[in-house]
Amino acid sequence: MSSTSIAAAGSSRAGANPALLSLLAGALAIALAPILVRVSELEPIATAFYRLVIALPFFWLGMLAERKAPRSASARVTAADMALMGVAGLMLAGDLALWHLSITMTSVAKATLFNNCAPVLVALLGWLLFGERIGLGLIVALAVSLSGMALLIGDGLFASVGSAAEGQWQGDAIAVSTAAFYAVYLMAVKRLRSSHSTSVIMAGSSAAAALVLAVAASLEGGPLLPATAWGWAVVLALGVACHVIGQGLITHALAHLPVTFSSIGLLIQPVAAAALAWMLFGEALGPLQWLGGALALVGITLARRTSSR
């Protein structure tokens, strides 16, 4: 091997190490989200509203920084782009509102795992709506994920009468539906990403989602403002630590790491969320739930690898 190739390999590894740390730190930051939702003083949808409103100024600052950059080549936002951002915002609002609601109705582990099944649906919807190629990998991913989800939901569906798990299947069903909302959101963002920066897309879609959530929160009932300093600290942590820092670190890492490797690394998020829920809320998983969770994670990994190709 030549000295040039050795130096290039060393430089690549040096760049990958900080990116890997960024990926893991971002995934762990996002893993705090369901814990913060569970302890929030506000109702689930109101909590989701503050998550976006607190994050919005950071996205606007990102847009301003991009426009002042010497080599800025930001495209003009057309009416069609605004409409697509509105669709993305509507899907993001549905995803956050239903996911936050599911966290209060079922276990953190199941709500987080089901929400992370979006890549499976993205690949499937890409085939159904846009004729994207579907291969054996996607079929296997779908079968494995559905098997795991069936095991996880079955625990609540067939629970004995009077047990703590009875009725959790409603929360499970809501959590599964969030993956569909998030899948459509990701597809809209993918279309916008070809001509706009992450800051522009996040600012536009988050503003639209915040408007939808504001209306939904007013209809939800309950207080619209945190009552204590602790309540404000929770929503601030949700907006800054989870939505801005967590997503920002992951976005940075994805630019420097292989997609297939990143997709596996991101699976630390539902695992970390489940571990935190076990330590803080005593939400232990049974053997069948562990098996179902493992199958769901394998299916998600396969779907992400299929999508990356």
pLDDT at 93 over 90: yes
Reading phi first (left if > 0) and then psi (alpha if -120 to 50, else beta), residue 36 is in: alpha
- How far apart, in whole angstroms, are the C-alpha atoms of residue 91 and residue 276? 28
Angle ∠(250,305,111) on CA atoms, nearest 5? 60
Q: How many CA atoms lie within 13 A of 222 on its CB side?
A: 14
For residues 193 and 180, the model is more confident at: 180
Q: What is the mean pLDDT of the chain?
A: 77
Predicted TM-score (pTM) of the model is: 0.76
Q: How many CA atoms lie within 13 A of 129 on its CB side?
A: 10
Ranking 49-53, 89-93, 219-223, 300-304 by mean pLDDT, the lowest is: 300-304
- Judge contact between 83 and 152, C-beta under 8 A: no
Q: Is 7 exposed, middle or buried (0-12, 13-18, 19+ CB in 10 A)?
A: exposed
pLDDT at 7 over 60: no
User: H helices then E strands: how many in the chain?
Assistant: 13, 0
Task: Show Cβ contacts of residue 257 under 8 Å, excluding neighbours closer than 6 positions.
Answer: 16, 19, 20, 23, 265
For the chain, what is the largest distance between any 2 Cα atoms, rounded to a whole number of angstroms?
A: 70
For residues 291 and 97, the model is more confident at: 97
Residue 151's SS3 state is helix
Over residues 258-283, the pLDDT tens digits come to 655 555 566 677 778 888 888 888 88
- How far apart, in whole angstroms, are the C-alpha atoms of residue 149 and residue 114? 7
User: Which string of DSSP letters, residue by residue, matches 184-223?
Assistant: HHHHHHHHHHTTS-HHHHHHHHHHHHHHHHHHHHHHH-S-
Name all contacts of 69-78 with Cβ < 8 Å and 24+ positions apart.
74/196, 74/197, 74/200, 75/195, 75/196, 77/196, 77/200, 77/204
Q: HEC string of 74-139?
A: CCCCCHHHHHHHHHHHHHHHHHHHHHHHHHCCCCHHHHHHHHCCHHHHHHHHHHHHHCCCCCHHHH
**Chain length of the chain:** 309
Single-letter amino acid code for the residue at 228: T
Q: Give the pLDDT mean for 27-53.
A: 92
User: Percentage of the chain with pLDDT > 90?
Assistant: 22
